[in-house]
Amino acid sequence: MELKEVYDDLLGIGITKHDAALLADCIAKNKSCSWINNDKVEKENVRGLLNYIKNNNIPVELSIKYLETRNKYIWDVKAVEKK
C-alpha cells in the first residue's frame, strides 16, 4: 500500500493528522512503532480503523491505551508476518 493512500484513508476514518501520519508510515513500510500524544481518539474512529485493517488484510496488531492521569494516548503498532 502506498503511504499517501493509507494516510488519506486514515484521515477519512477520522484519525487525527499526527496519528494518521505515523500509522500510515507503519502500515506502508510494514514496521512496528509506538508513540504518545494527547490527540483524542474516539471509539467510532477506532472501530473504523479496526475495520480498515481487517478489510485490507493489513498485517498489524494495534493497541491504543488511554492514560487518564496524564490525558494522553499510547499507540502501539506491531507488524506481524503474513501467513
- pLDDT tens figures, 21-79: 999 999 999 999 999 999 999 999 999 999 999 999 999 999 999 999 999 999 999 99
The pLDDT, as a whole number, for residue 1 is 85
Q: Compute the distance between CA of residue 3 and CA of residue 64 in angstroms, rounded to an integer.
A: 21
Average pLDDT over residues 13-25: 97
Provide, for the chain, the percentages of residues in helix, strand and coil under a 3-state DSSP scheme, each rounded to the nearest 5.
45, 25, 30
Written as one string, the DSSP assignment of 28-44 is: HHT--EEEEE-----HH
The pLDDT, as a whole number, for residue 83 is 55
Confidence of residue 81 (pLDDT cuts 50, 70, 90): confident
Q: Based on the structure, what is the number of domains in the chain?
A: 1
| Residues of the domain holding 43 | 3-79
Contact 7, 21 (CB under 8 A): yes
The pLDDT, as a whole number, for residue 27 is 96
